[in-house]
Structure formats: C-alpha cells, structure tokens
C-alpha cells in the first residue's frame, strides 16, 4: 500500500460541486446558541464554509441548488467513539457480552488483523458514517499493533471524503509501552504537524486502576505531543473509580479528555470529571447490551457534564447516530420512570428532550473534539451539513416537531444529502463516487483471511456464543384462556388502488 498519511483534503475523492451549494426552503435546525429553528429557510455554502442562512437567499451563478422543501437541514452528526477497524466484522458479535468481546479481540483474534484488514474496516466504516449523515467520526483505533497498521488506518480514512479523528491505540501492548516507541511518536508527530483539517489525532488508551499507575508514562507522552486522550472509563469489570482518581491526582484530567461510557462510576468520579471540564461519550446501545453499566445520561445530567454520543463498534451495532439518539432518550427516560416507580411516584413531565439528544449528536460531539467550527449552522463555520428528506416515505410527513422527527422518526435511509467541507458526498440518497465494489472486495479478503486463520469451528463458535443454562418457564395460571380474534374490519378505502377485503 502506498503511504497516503499526508493526503490533503484536496486529494480526497468526492464531488467538488462548483464553488457554492444552496439548500432551498428546508426546516433548518441551526443548533446555534439559541437553537434557532428556521422554517422555509436556505443555507448557502461557499467553498468549505457556511456563507449565509436565511429566506430566499440570493446566490452566485452556478450554485448547485438542493430542493429541501419538506426536509430538515441540520449540522452533520459527530460520532465521538467508534472502533472503525472492527466494521470488517459487521454484525458478527451481535449476541456477545463485553467479556466475549474482550476474549475475541484482546486475547484471541485481534492480532490476526493485518494492516490491510484495518484499511478495509476503516474504509467501510467511513462510508457507513457518511451514508448515515455522520460527517465526523472519531476512529477509536485500538488495533494498531504497528505503525504499518496505523498507516493503513489513515489510508482507509483518506479514501473517503469525511472528517475523521484518528485516536491511536493498541490493545496488544500496555499504553506505557507502545506510546514510548520512537516510530509511534514519529507517526503521531507527523500527523499532528500535517495540520490536516480533515484528520485530527488523539491518543486512545484505558486506565486499569493499578495503584502503580503505569499509564502515567502514556499521559506524559500525550502531554508532550500536545494530543488529547480518549479513554474507556467506568466500564464494569474493566475500568473504575480508581482510574479516574489516579488521572485526577496526577493532573491528567483536562477539558479535552473524553471519557467513553462512564457508566459505572461513583458521584465522586463524576464530580472530578465535571470539575476538570471533560466530555462523556455515551454509547447507549453498547452500554445496554454489552454490560459496561447503565447508560449514564440520567446521572451525568445532574452533574452538568458535557455529553457527546457514539456508536462504539459495528461488530454489534451500526454507525448510525439516529439509533444513538433514540436509544439514549429511551434509556434515560426508562431510568427516570423506574427511579420514580421505586418511590411509588409517577413521572408526569419527562426531563430529557429530543432537542437535547440532537444537540449531543452535533454540538456535543464538536465540543468533545475541540472543534468550535463544527456542530452548528452559522455563518463562517465549516460546511458539514445534512438534509433529512425522503419524499417517498410516509414517515416524512407531517413534520410538526423537527427535533422529535430527527430523534424518533428519521433513519439513515432518510438522509438525502450530505455535505462535508463544502463537498456534496451524498446526493439524492446515494453516496457520490463511492466504489463499493472495491470496498466489498477488500472486506471480503479480510473475512476470508480471518475465517481461514481461525478455522471454521472457531469462526462459528465465536459468532454463536453458548447460551447460559436453560431458563425455567414460569407457571402461568391463565394458559387455559383461548382468544378468538374478531375477523371483520370495515374498509375506509385504500391508497393502493382497489379496496381490499379483509377477513
Ligand atoms: Zn469502545
């Protein structure tokens, strides 16, 4: 593979749609400080920036017009934690627990991933982001066993015209070991000094709570290189309050630190995070099914800690922040109801609003990665925008509550247009210029490699974990009841042509 680690934005694929693009007549969620919602409004993009927002905007000759009537124009979403290399194993671990994930990736098969496998997974995941309206993705890249793997990770991202942050990690060595390697530091310096607006860089490692705090050396490297750290914190059975305390006591908790999950922490840890200004990246679908702890927004809100959203890994879930918004609302409200029920009380007014999760998916992510120029639709900001509009879908109307529509009604297939850095990368529901055949072939080769390396029994066992001991079915005193449903219905007519009879 060629080294494209220094690829500039101009080298990337994707359409350059003239100098200007205008979204016409949409409902615009600005996500600015006032959370302005503009009806029948236009957004003009000139080169890589938002040039104007308002009604009936005059635009330069040759501007690409995108009819946004009936749709929602909003900032591109930002996923603050995804192990993009794992997309090569899409869906394989659907029935895993976190323990099974650790065994498979950390202990048994993570080493089998070659640089070309990281390349393939990253390229697929990057396309998956754009397709779902995620314009910036933090690649929590902890499969980087060598700098060759890291080069391949960057190459996979550079093949796709999205915005990314490479969070460099390596689960096959202690963070104090791999961060000390001169070639790793050289790679990180090179990426940092390239100053590529489309590719940020961070360090990604976890803090086990070992009292000798061996991770201190890795934090010192991050500080010396001037790179933020992202860490899985508050993961049941893996990382806990001790890790937070050690980070805090040693002065490594800073506003740019991102705490992923933070799902099994005490109030004391939340207070340390709140006081030092970091962000919590909540991966609700992950926390709900893998077992890191209860999705923490219901607690985090009370500590006033900034929140961002993430999808974690496509080995279980998909890189789709609509799912993240939906599941986060559900988990938060579910907990609020249950906490009230336990006291014999009823929640009559729900606290977490759809508007809030839309903010977490946009501005929350921008804050987490230190990008003030992303996450809202304001003049002068970077033009990372999406249009949610699907005239063929009965779910597209009526559009009454735009935030509620985004959080509970819309889905990735409704993402009509995606603009990143002023370039149209998805248009009329299709990725522009994406060679899916090439990606499919690369992924196929990775799957073949892993499957043959593991052997068929191991491959199948990994995908189909044993069930725990059979669950006893409880006695049911009502099983004698026989329901017969009424079978007559009155047709009011049909929109499919001839009325049909029901029976
Ligand atoms: Zn993770």
- The string of DSSP letters for 373-416 reads TSSS--TTSB--EEEE--TT-GGG-----HHHIIIII--GGGEE
CA of 437 to the centre of ligand 1 (A): 28
**DSSP strand pairing (385-388 vs 307-309):** unpaired
**DSSP strand pairing (77-82 vs 49-54):** unpaired
* 472 contact partners, CB below 8 Å, separation of at least 6: none
CA of 232 to the centre of ligand 1 (A): 6
CA of 312 to the centre of ligand 1 (A): 5
Torsion of CA 486, 490, 494, 498, to 10 degrees: 100
CA of 82 to the centre of ligand 1 (A): 6
- 202 closest CA partner among 224, 173, 234, 169: 169
CA of 313 to the centre of ligand 1 (A): 7
CA of 141 to the centre of ligand 1 (A): 9
Instruction: Kindly tell me the burial class for residue 98, based on how many C-beta atoms sit within 10 Å of its own C-beta (0-12, 13-18, 19 or more).
Output: middle
Side-chain half-sphere CA neighbours of 127 within 13 A: 23
Whole-number Å distance between alpha carbons of 206 and 68: 43
Whole-number Å distance between alpha carbons of 451 and 92: 12
Contact 127, 70 (CB under 8 A): no
CA of 263 to the centre of ligand 1 (A): 12
CA of 61 to the centre of ligand 1 (A): 46
* 177 contact partners, CB below 8 Å, separation of at least 6: none
CA of 286 to the centre of ligand 1 (A): 8
| Backbone φ and ψ of 375, nearest 5° | 90, -5
CA of 446 to the centre of ligand 1 (A): 21
* 193 contact partners, CB below 8 Å, separation of at least 6: none
CA of 210 to the centre of ligand 1 (A): 20
Whole-number Å distance between alpha carbons of 372 and 369: 9
CA of 142 to the centre of ligand 1 (A): 9
| Backbone φ and ψ of 102, nearest 5° | -60, -45
CA of 143 to the centre of ligand 1 (A): 12
List the structure tokens of 491. 């047709």
What distances in angstroms separate CA 271 from CA 114, 250, 254, 268, 495, one per listed residue?
Answer: 41, 16, 13, 5, 57
- 281 closest CA partner among 266, 261, 301: 261
Whole-number Å distance between alpha carbons of 238 and 97: 13
What distances in angstroms separate CA 12 from CA 3, 100, 423, 428, one per listed residue?
Answer: 14, 37, 11, 21
CA of 451 to the centre of ligand 1 (A): 23
* 374 contact partners, CB below 8 Å, separation of at least 6: 75, 76, 78, 135, 136, 163, 365, 366, 381, 382, 384
CA of 476 to the centre of ligand 1 (A): 41
pLDDT reported for residue 481? 61
List the structure tokens of 376. 């809202």
pLDDT reported for residue 11? 36
CA of 422 to the centre of ligand 1 (A): 30
What is the chain's pLDDT, residue by residue, as a tens digit (503 residues)? 333 333 333 334 344 446 899 999 999 999 999 999 999 999 999 999 999 999 999 999 999 999 999 999 999 999 999 999 999 999 999 999 999 999 999 999 999 999 999 999 999 999 999 999 999 999 999 999 999 999 999 999 999 999 999 999 999 999 999 999 999 999 999 999 999 999 999 999 999 999 999 999 999 999 999 999 999 999 999 999 999 999 999 999 999 999 999 999 999 999 999 999 999 999 999 999 999 999 999 999 999 999 999 999 999 998 999 999 999 999 999 999 999 999 999 999 999 999 999 999 999 999 999 999 999 999 999 999 999 999 999 999 999 999 999 999 999 999 999 999 999 999 999 999 999 999 999 999 999 999 999 999 999 999 999 998 888 888 888 876 655 554 445 556 667 665 555 54
Dihedral sign, Cα of residue 67, residue 69, residue 70, residue 71: positive
Distinct helix (H) and strand (E) counts, the chain? 16, 17
CA of 86 to the centre of ligand 1 (A): 11
Can you state the angle between helices 182-194 and 147-158, rounded to 10 degrees?
20
Dihedral sign, Cα of residue 251, residue 254, residue 257, residue 260: positive
CA of 262 to the centre of ligand 1 (A): 11
CA of 37 to the centre of ligand 1 (A): 33
CA of 400 to the centre of ligand 1 (A): 36
């Amino acid at each position: 593979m060629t080294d494209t680690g220094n690829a500039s934005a101009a080298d990337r694929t994707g359409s350059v749609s003239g100098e200007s693009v205008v979204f016409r007549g949409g409902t615009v969620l600005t996500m600015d400080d006032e959370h302005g919602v503009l009806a029948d409004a236009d957004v003009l993009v000139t080169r890589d920036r938002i040039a104007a927002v308002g009604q009936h905007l005059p635009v330069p000759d040759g501007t690409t017009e995108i009819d946004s009537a009936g749709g929602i124009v909003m900032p591109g979403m930002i996923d603050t934690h995804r192990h993009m290399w794992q997309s090569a194993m899409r869906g394989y671990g659907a029935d895993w627990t976190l323990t099974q994930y650790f065994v498979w990736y950390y202990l048994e098969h993570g080493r089998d991933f070659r640089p070309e496998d990281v390349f393939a997974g990253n390229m697929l995941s990057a396309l998956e982001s754009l397709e779902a309206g995620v314009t910036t993705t933090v690649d929590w890249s902890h499969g980087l066993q060598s700098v060759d793997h890291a080069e391949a990770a960057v190459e996979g991202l550079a093949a796709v015209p999205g915005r990314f942050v490479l969070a460099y990690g390596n689960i096959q060595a202690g963070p104090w070991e791999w961060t000390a390697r001169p070639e790793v530091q050289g790679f990180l310096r090179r990426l940092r000094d390239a100053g590529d607006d489309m590719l940020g860089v961070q360090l990604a490692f976890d803090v086990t709570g070992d009292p000798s705090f061996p991770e201190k050396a890795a934090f010192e490297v991050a500080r010396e290189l001037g790179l933020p750290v992202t860490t899985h914190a508050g993961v049941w059975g893996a990382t806990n309050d001790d890790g937070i305390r050690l980070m805090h006591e040693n002065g490594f908790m800073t506003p740019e630190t991102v705490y992923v999950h933070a799902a099994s922490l005490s109030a004391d840890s939340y207070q340390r995070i709140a006081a030092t200004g970091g962000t919590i990246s909540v991966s609700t679908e992950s926390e709900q099914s893998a077992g890191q702890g209860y999705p923490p927004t219901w607690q985090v809100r009370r500590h006033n800690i900034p929140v961002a959203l993430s999808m974690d890994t496509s080995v279980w879930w998909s890189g789709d922040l609509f799912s993240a918004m939906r599941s986060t609302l559900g988990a938060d409200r579910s907990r609020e109801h249950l906490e009230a029920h336990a006291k014999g009380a009823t929640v009559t007014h729900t606290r977490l609003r759809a508007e809030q999760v839309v903010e977490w998916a946009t501005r929350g992510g921008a804050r987490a990665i230190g990008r003030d120029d992303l996450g809202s639709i304001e003049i002068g900001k970077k033009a990372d925008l999406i249009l949610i509009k699907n005239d063929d879908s009965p779910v597209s109307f009526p559009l009454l509550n735009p935030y509620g529509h985004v959080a509970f009604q819309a889905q990735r297939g409704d993402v009509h247009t995606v603009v990143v850095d002023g370039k149209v990368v998805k248009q009329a529901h299709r990725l522009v210029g994406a060679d899916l055949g090439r990606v499919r072939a690369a992924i196929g080769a990775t799957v073949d490699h892993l499957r043959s390396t593991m052997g068929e029994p191991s491959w199948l066992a990994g995908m189909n974990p044993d069930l725990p001991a059979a669950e006893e079915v409880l006695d049911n005193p009502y099983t004698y009841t026989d329901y017969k449903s009424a079978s007559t219905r009155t047709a009011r007519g049909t929109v499919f042509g001839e009325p049909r009879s029901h029976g």
